[in-house]
Amino acid sequence: RQMEQIIQWRFLGHLAGALIAAAPGSLLSHLRQLMLAPARLAGTYLIGMDEDIRQRILQALLDAGEHIYRFTEHWYRCPNGHSYFVGECGKTWEESTCPECGAVVGGREHVAARGNVQETRRGDSSPPGYTLPQADQDPDKFPTFRS
């Protein structure tokens, strides 16, 4: 256990040294700011942000043979703007609560509950300022944290 901690501290020391010595404008210089002055990065985006999760969900459904999802819009927003997905035909049939805010989501007999709206936005919905290729341009890209 003690040797593991020594190795971890050595790694952190080497990482800190590399970040401090990083050339201005390099990726490491941005990580140095994250380490030493994180407030300067407010309102910016890091390269490691995950892309549009909707593309991943739809691709997984298509890969599983669920081709109905290709032809109709299945995304809705609760009254407070949180997105959710409706399966099968894409029309609401049951009500539930939003896990983010507790508002009523879904609907009854293909009529959305009050304040719920069907989203018509198509394509990539990555956050503004996203720096990697859009998800619909790179559907086979899987993020990894292994070296």
- 28 versus 108: the higher-pLDDT residue is 108
Q: Residue 71 above 90 pLDDT? A: no
Distance CA 47, CA 77 (A): 27
Q: Residue 127 above 50 pLDDT? A: yes
Distance CA 44, CA 48 (A): 12
How confident is the model at residue 77, as a pLDDT? Answer: 92
Tens of pLDDT, residues 82-126: 989 888 888 899 999 999 999 999 999 999 999 999 987 666 666
With contact defined as beta carbons under 8 Å apart, do 18 and 2 qualify? no
DSSP 133: P
State the Cα angle at 91 between 72 and 64, rounded to 5°: 55
Phi, psi for residue 84 in degrees, rounded to 5: -150, 165
Longest distance between any two alpha carbons in the chain, whole Å: 63
How confident is the model at residue 47, as a pLDDT? Answer: 60
Give the model's confidence band at 54: pLDDT under 50 very low, under 70 low, under 90 confident, else very high: confident
